[in-house]
Amino acid sequence: MNKKLLGIIGAMGLASAGAAAVADKVFNVTCRQTDIQKEKNSNPHIELGSAQYADINPRMHQLIGEAEKEKFERIEIRSSRDGTPLRARFYRFGDDSETLIFFHGYRGSALRDGCGGFKMAKDTKRNILMVDQRASGESGGNVITFGILERLDCRDWAEYIADRFPDVKIILTGVSLGAATVLMAADTGLPKNVKCIIADCGYSSPKEIICKVAKEGGYPVSLCWPLLKLSCKLRAGFDLDESSAVEAVKHTDIPILIIHGDDDRYVPCDMAYKIYDACASKKELLIISGAPHAAAYMVDEKAYVETSERFIKECLEEK
């Protein structure tokens, strides 16, 4: 073997090693959440940091503090997909006729991201299950899958509630990643008890949100996306293109309310329109003026509550 050929082989080896290192870094930064990160992010009082939230954080802390005083039941199930232990807190504010199931956002916590929905449940005497998404809070796993596996966890939680309370009417709701989760669950064969979905600032697909964030961070999307997709498949056994909110809502008859702030600088508001346009079922769109990401309730509580309650009532009354 001549020196030139050896040089080429060596260069190819270095290139492969370099690509593997980049793939590893992209996967760890994007999808992996260590136990230390999980513990830190499970603190609901972590403030939303940008100037957009200066007037929002105090109200958020107030609602979280009120929620923390309430009694709850700890519940654990296992993922039907991969056996991951999934945990949630079940708050009973009424009888067992209606239950909200809430899913929080990316590296978030249920009480922080869902404090507004929690208050709505308490005010309307509905039970609410506050879920720790996989790789977050007290749930198992260390890989966030952008809704791909979370959507199946959502189905598992809906089946748990439906099995435990056969006559219950279920409302699925979530914020950000949680919104994408409930939307992507819409075509997974949810139990008939699920009467509607409320999705607050969800993204249209894992690919679109990941590429959007990568581009804004100055990373080469043409390199990062395929490496991340491959890493997820090889290292964690899931395909980031397996599902999306846009595709799922094309194949459901479950009514869907989409809520989004028009000053959302993380998940662009145009993604809400894209999901809405694709939806094949009964649908409604509420755009909250001036609301940043995951803060629509805080910016216009009146519109948020009135629209959600009217939509829920309509859906629960339908046969």
* Rounded distance between C-alpha atoms, residue 303 and residue 301, angstroms: 6
pLDDT at res. 233: 95
Structural domain of residue 174, as residue ranges?
A: 31-205+244-317
pLDDT at res. 12: 36
In a domain, 11, yes or no: no
Provide the token pair at 22: 């980049």
pLDDT at res. 15: 42
Which residue type occupies 266?
A: Y
pLDDT in tens, the chain (319 residues): 555 544 433 433 434 445 678 788 899 999 999 999 999 999 999 988 789 999 999 999 999 999 999 999 999 999 999 999 999 999 999 999 999 999 999 999 999 999 999 999 999 999 999 999 999 999 999 999 999 999 999 999 999 999 999 999 999 999 999 999 999 999 999 999 999 999 999 999 999 999 999 999 999 999 999 999 999 999 999 999 999 999 999 999 999 999 999 999 999 999 999 999 999 999 999 999 999 999 999 999 999 999 999 999 999 998 6
Domain tally, the chain? 1
* Rounded distance between C-alpha atoms, residue 178 and residue 150, angstroms: 8
pLDDT at res. 6: 41
> Helix/strand/coil (H, E, C) string of 174-206?
EECHHHHHHHHHHHCCCCCCEEEEEEECCCCCH
Which residue in 99, 78, 245, 206 sits closest to 158, CA to CA?
Answer: 99
Q: Helix (H, G, I), strand (E, B), or coil: what is residue 134? A: coil
In a domain, 282, yes or no: yes
In a domain, 19, yes or no: no
In the block, residue with structure tokens 């009217």: 310
In a domain, 186, yes or no: yes
To the nearest 10 degrees (0 to 180), the angle between helices 221-231 and 3-30 is 80
pLDDT at res. 4: 52
* Sign for the pseudo-dihedral over CA of 277, 283, 284, 290: negative
- In sequence order, what are the residues at sequence separation of 6 or more whose Cβ sits closer than 8 angstroms to the Cβ of residue 214? 220, 221, 224, 225
In a domain, 21, yes or no: no
The secondary structure element, H or E, covering residue 314 is: helix 301-317
The CATH number linked to 170 is: 3.40.50.1820
pTM: 0.94
* Rounded distance between C-alpha atoms, residue 13 and residue 130, angstroms: 48
In a domain, 227, yes or no: no
* Rounded distance between C-alpha atoms, residue 34 and residue 57, angstroms: 26
In a domain, 220, yes or no: no
* Rounded distance between C-alpha atoms, residue 274 and residue 272, angstroms: 5
pLDDT at res. 14: 38
pLDDT at res. 22: 79
Provide the token pair at 199: 């999705």
In a domain, 188, yes or no: yes
For residue 131, how many other CB atoms are within 10 A of its CB?
A: 29
* Rounded distance between C-alpha atoms, residue 181 and residue 177, angstroms: 6
pLDDT at res. 11: 39
pLDDT at res. 283: 98
Distance from CA of residue 290 to its chain's centroid?
A: 22
pLDDT at res. 21: 81
